[in-house]
Amino acid sequence: MKPQLIIDSNERGLLCESVERKATKAGLTVARQALVVGDYQLGGACVEAKSIGDLFQSSHSGHLWRQLDNMDANYERFFLVVHGDIAKYIAMAKKNGRSRISYSKVQNELIGTMARLMADFDCQVFYCNNVSEAASFIVRLHGKLHKPASKHGAQAIRRVASNDLRLDMLMTVPGIGQETAEKLLEKCGSIEEKCFPESIKQVKGLGEVRRKILVNVLTSEEPVRQERKVRR
């Protein structure tokens, strides 16, 4: 049975209404609950959704980066969904007196912010043209995250294409992508279990949840079962 799709009780507006409607139509159980961070909880994953304007404003104020730190500390996986039409955003900005704004400036800032999110926080970022697309993506993401494994299992999901077997091994750990794996090797030097517990504390963008999972995987003498629970 798939876990509930939980919408933050403080979330309001067209997007959450569309998510709830599409999720219910897809046969998912939807609930409203106060979340510590994020707008949507998909089992052990978290989704934060932002319009283009909200993304820029929260980035400039620093709130976005604090949110990412909190998501990293509380969830095994976290996603950012950015939605909105650039042309409409520019038209609204010009109406509010920002005459010097241009498509290229907005596009460059959007790309730069998304790139920083992926590089510095190992956050998976997705851009949707409008609210309806964003809602459909969130609902489908929930379904894909909790889809029963195929006969090929996790081996097919976690097949990697690096030229370093150390990277490949680290990337099989839930929540560890290539960017984070490279940072780990750069900071720790090797994957010898004795050096990891202390060294990984210095790796930027690796939250407490993923840090504990990684240490457990490398040091446990018993089988390590993957859990999908959110820490509170």
Residue 34 pLDDT class (50, 70, 90 cuts): very high
The answer to whether position 111 is within a domain reads yes
Averaged pLDDT, 143-156: 59
Residue 53 pLDDT class (50, 70, 90 cuts): very high
The CATH number given to whatever domain includes residue 42 is: 3.40.50.10130
Average pLDDT, the chain: 80
- How many CA atoms does the CB half-sphere of 43 hold within 13 Å? 18
Averaged pLDDT, 2-19: 91
Residues 74 and 187 in one domain: no
What is residue 190's DSSP assignment?
S
Domains identified in the chain, total number:
2
Which region among 105-114, 122-131, 152-161 has the lowest average model confidence (pLDDT)? Answer: 152-161
**CB-based contacts of 150, cutoff 8 Å, min separation 6:** 156
Residues 198 and 130 in one domain: no
Please report, rounded to a whole number, the percentage of residues in the chain having pLDDT higher than 90: 40
Instruction: Please state, in angstroms and as integers, the Cα–Cα distance from residue 185 to each residue in 10, 119, 165, 188, 190, following that order.
Output: 40, 16, 12, 5, 6
Residues 119 and 172 in one domain: no
- What's the domain range around 14? 5-145
